[in-house]
A = this chain, B = another copy of it.
Amino acid sequence: MDDSNADAPLYERIANQVEQAMAGGALRAGDRLPSVRQLSQQHGVSVTTALQALRHLENRGLVQARPKSGYFVCPRLPALPEPQMDLRVDAASFVSMDQVLHEFLLTMEDPQAVPAFQALPARSLLPEAKLQAILASVNRRHPEYGTTFSIAGSAALRQQIARRAVSSGVQLRPEEIVITNGGMEALYLALKSVAAPGETILVESPTYFSLLQTIESLGMRALEIPSHPRAGISLEALDFATQTPGAVRACVLLPHFPNPGGSLMPVEHKRQLVQLCAERGIAVIESDIYGELYFGDQRPPVLKSFDEHNDVILCSSFTKTVAPGYRIGWIAPGRHFMKTQALKMRTSCASPMLQQEVLAQFMRDGGYDHHLRRLRAALKLQAHQMADAVARHFPMGCRLSIPQGGFMLWIELPRHVDSREVFALARLAHIGVAPGAAFSISRRFDHFIRLQYGDPWSARMEESMRKLGQIVAKLAEAPSRQRQAEHALQA
């Protein structure tokens, strides 16, 4: 205890000691503090004084109380700067699938990987037992779900989806919704409903590889528009890229916490974007699969809530929030409904009723909201824990922005580090790293990596982050193969 502390009241001096432990790294974001009883014993003070010390720390925003579990160290924003934004817009081009990406997809299912490769919340954060119980009862009551199906999908589920949509600022009628096999099929149907092979689809950059691949498999062109780590797609760049009439047929956007960026589009941007696209006859396809996973105070409104002409196609799914195993998504195609429904019949015809009814019941009985509150709190904490670990373990010159929702961390490495090499080395150590190259047709993210923090923090996680930091540091020192090649050419 240093002298500067001598005159301070007892509770404050104890608080200062705790604070020093936090500064020194002995106590980290998310760690539980000693209980009131432990603290009073450690310092030989009354329980009241110990409690005062904790309240003092809480008032200063350094720790937070959690009902029935005590006090925890608040997440500290890491010292790292934000990634830089490259505002150049490349020409639209056909996507070509990259070997590393293919390798990446094939290794996505490594069960030993920590963090995991697949961007999903940990099982422990999902309502597994509840879903299991509801499924058992639905199965008991509906043997016919094994032998019959409905092309339109479960009316009960579509009703719940319409009811929920209100909280995201949009009025939907159940008859306007088509149930799909997950969010991927929803996006696929949306693209086919509005665009033809050869036409140009505008996407934010970076964006997730599945979207680029879907555009590829439809023979369409992808035009990448730079996206800001916090505010999402650049409206200036979008405005610039869409000035030639007819040049762009549609755009696919994730206004909420997209993979990998984790940005949140400001409300004013949303309004402007929907208006701009309407004026220029560009179909807006909105994927809101992460929309419920916000870290702020309230559910952000979807783009479709600013849609005056029923132009915006809204897609979502339950894969990232409730039941990855169910493969249930949905699409509200607006005025493209007939076409989308017909396409669905040609692609996979129908989706199983069983899982649809289970989700409907889960949403109706209110377990859904409680679950989402828990999930959001856990993901927010894990986001800060992982960002914290990156700040502690990664070498100088790395950058990241704290995501505002979802469960993806997008990290910029020193420019000369080849994320393909990071991916390859991390893979051997069973660390799930997605190489930046997988999130753009351009090469501009080759020195980025994506991590997912869907899993609760653990010693193994800490260890993985330490190893990953070493891998990045090693590659940051050694000139990469690429640079060696450049040198060779220069020589």
Contacts and interface: CB of A to CB of B under 8 A. Distances in A.
Contacts of A146: 126, 128, 131-132, 135, 323, 325-326
Nearest to A184: B349
A327 interface: yes
Contacts of A235: none
Contacts of A147: 123, 126, 128, 131, 323-325
Interface in A323-339: 323-327
A151 B108 contact: yes
A214 B346 contact: yes
Interface string A333-359: 000000000110111111111110000
A487 interface: no
A105 B342 contact: yes
A136 interface: yes
A56 to B, nearest CB: 41
Contact of A139 (B139, B213, B216): B139
A352 B324 contact: no
A181 B182 CA distance: 11
Contacts of A97: 342
A152 B126 CA distance: 23
A197 B218 CA distance: 9
Contact of A354 (B219, B324, B325): B325
Q: What's the interface size class on A, roughly?
A: 35 or more
A243 to B, nearest CB: 29
Interface string A101-139: 010010011000000000010010010110110011001
Nearest to A210: B346
A163 B447 CA distance: 47
A213 B108 CA distance: 34
A375 to B, nearest CB: 12
A288 interface: no
Give the oligomeric copy count: 2
Contacts of A326: 146, 352
Nearest to A108: B151
A182 B181 CA distance: 11
Interface string A26-62: 0000000000000000000000000000000000000
Name the residue among A188, A324, A325, A346 with the largest chain B CB count within 10 angstroms: A346
Interface string A78-120: 0000000000000000000100001001001100000000001
A347 B144 CA distance: 27
A351 B324 CA distance: 10
Given A132-B146, A149-B324, A105 B345 contact: yes
Interface of A: 97, 102, 105, 108-109, 120, 123, 126, 128-129, 131-132, 135-136, 139-140, 143-152, 181-182, 184-185, 188, 192, 196-197, 210, 213-214, 216-217, 219, 323-327, 342-343, 345-355
29 contacts: A97-B342, A108-B151, A120-B148, A128-B146, A128-B147, A131-B146, A146-B323, A146-B325, A147-B323, A148-B325, A149-B324, A149-B325, A149-B327, A181-B327, A181-B348, A182-B349, A185-B347, A185-B348, A188-B346, A188-B347, A197-B219, A219-B219, A325-B353, A325-B354, A326-B352, A327-B349, A347-B347, A348-B348, A352-B355
Given A126-B146, A210-B346, A347-B347, 12 more contacts: A128-B144, A136-B140, A139-B139, A196-B219, A197-B219, A213-B342, A214-B347, A217-B343, A217-B347, A325-B352, A326-B352, A352-B355
